[in-house]
Amino acid sequence: PIIAAINNVCLGGGLELAMACHIRIATDNAKLGLPEIALGIIPGFGGTQLLPRLVGRGKAIEMILTGEKVLAKDMKEIGLINLLAPADELIKEAKGLATKIAEKGFIAVSSALKAIMFASSNLPEARNEYAGSFDRGLELETSLFNKIFETEDWREGVSAFLEKLNSKINRRRNHITHNIKCIFFYKFCFASQKTCVNTLNELIYS
């Protein structure tokens, strides 16, 4: 299994990566969230598929549509975080748990994971054609995400974000230009997002 150790801030793609892991350990005050909506876009690395499977549809809708950050200590009870640990003990706790699992039989652990992931791949309350299929859900997410980049909403969202960033920290113009380039590179990378998620899943579930 793959264990994510989360400290400080885990937002956007970072949280999506953590959600793709089997187990998540975090510090009490670690901040989690999918803030993409503030940029006029949606989570694009599996967030719309992973979050509902972990916390339920209602909470997932709230988190994604508001884009607000939540504390790890508040997420333990609903399944987004498995365990909490002090910052100076975080890595030790993660390694300890990994060691405990590694001591079990490899075939048994691997088989159990496959069976569990199969059982949890369906949302009981799902009511659309993509229900129950992670791959098909990713395809829908990718399609919707790419369509957003054909609109003015994401440009306005990104521009507003950069203006706010510039006013708060008064960075040099070339730094802002660098941020813009990074955002366009971010868009470009989404062409292979399904490949990235599936590669991680192959590593996790094999």
Mean pLDDT by 10 residues, the chain (206 residues): 93 94 94 92 90 92 96 94 96 94 85 74 46 68 74 72 63 42 35 49 55
**Other beta carbons within 10 Å of 35:** 18
Under 8 Å between Cβ of 32 and 74 = no
Domain boundaries, the chain: 3-205
**Cα separation, 138 vs 42, whole angstroms:** 12
Write down the CATH superfamily of domain 3-205: 2-enoyl-CoA Hydratase; Chain A, domain 1 (3.90.226.10)
Phi, psi (degrees; rounded to nearest 5) at 143: -60, -45
Query: For residue 68, what is the DSSP state?
Result: -
> Going by DSSP bridges, is the β-strand pair 23-26/9-11 parallel, antiparallel, or unpaired?
unpaired
0.95 surpassed by pTM:
no
Catalytic residues: 16, 36
CA distance 92 to 126: 38
For residues 135 and 198, is the Cβ–Cβ distance under 8 A? yes
Residue 25: predicted pLDDT: 97
